[in-house]
Amino acid sequence: MTNLEFVSQISGILKSNNKDSKIPRRLILKVGQDSATFLIAQKLLDRTISQETNLYTTIPCFEFEQIDVKKCPSLEFRMCKTLMKSVKPLPKLVFSRLGASVRDIVSLDGNFTFSFVDEAQYRRNKNRQQLKNQVFVYLGTDNHLYIPDREIHSLDLTILTLDTTNIEDCSSCLEKDGCKSNWDATFVVADKILEAVKDITIQRLSITRSIVPDDNPNGLEGK
């Protein structure tokens, strides 16, 4: 389902319930994505949708560049010998109490898996002898990924984001589609919660509609 198809379905239901309903498409999409984010984050905790592959987006050839360690937003990594920073920030991720939804980070040949950690986990793990061969990847507050103490220039990653419009811009090996519209992008949601997302979206938009007064009921302008 595309963003446009989702919005069209919601708009059709709202119009059938209230013929005066004129809610902007962008508002419908925003409320729909906010509703989907809320339910997805909730369901990730009980692991009922974590295996649904249609939720996740893969970014191949996600590039990094070496930076001055003093420019890292984390004090912890300013002690590193080498620090790599992603050239592009990640799209907005879905967060839950389990953290950011970064599922897989692998080398371009698929033979090595990186460890995605937060700052506290990195601090605990970096001096453990049994973890010396692991390569840690950290998400900064600026939404860039960082790799401390390793010179890695590109990797593949799989993330959960509802912002799939500019995925090609994050990759150095995906063909760019200059004609792609946000309305043609996929509306990201697990199949088993799609109807619930629609219901919540309609409820929230109905409340919004009831709050905003209609100065021209039934379209009777000037009468």
* Spatial CB neighbours of 109, under 8 Å, sequence gap ≥ 6: none
| Domain boundaries along the sequence of the chain | 3-51+190-219, 56-170
* Spatial CB neighbours of 71, under 8 Å, sequence gap ≥ 6: 85
Phi-psi sector, 99: left (phi>0), alpha (psi -120 to 50), beta: left
* Partners of 155 in the β-ladder: 62
> Are residues 113 and 66 in contact, defined by beta-carbon separation less than 8 angstroms?
no
> Which residue's structure tokens are 């902007």?
24
CB atoms near residue 143 (< 10 Å): 14
pTM: 0.81
> Are residues 91 and 102 in contact, defined by beta-carbon separation less than 8 angstroms?
no
Instruction: Give me the residues of the chain with pLDDT under 70, please.
Output: 18-21, 72-73, 126-132, 177-179, 209-223
Distance CA 114, CA 94 (A): 20
Model confidence over 176-203: pLDDT tens digits? 766 678 899 999 999 999 999 999 999 9
Using a 10 angstrom Cβ sphere, with 0-12 exposed, 13-18 middle and 19 or more buried, the burial of residue 133 is exposed
> Are residues 193 and 54 in contact, defined by beta-carbon separation less than 8 angstroms?
no
DSSP string, 89-120: PPPPBPEETTEE-EEEEE-TTS--BPEEE-HH
- DSSP one-letter code for 62: E
Q: Can you count the helices (H) and strands (E) in the chain?
A: 5, 9
Token pair, residue 105, equals: 């980070």
Query: C-alpha distances in angstroms, 42 versus 53, 112, 194, 197?
Result: 17, 31, 14, 12
In this predicted structure, what is the pLDDT of residue 57? 93
In this predicted structure, what is the pLDDT of residue 165? 87
> Which residue's structure tokens are 């508002």?
27
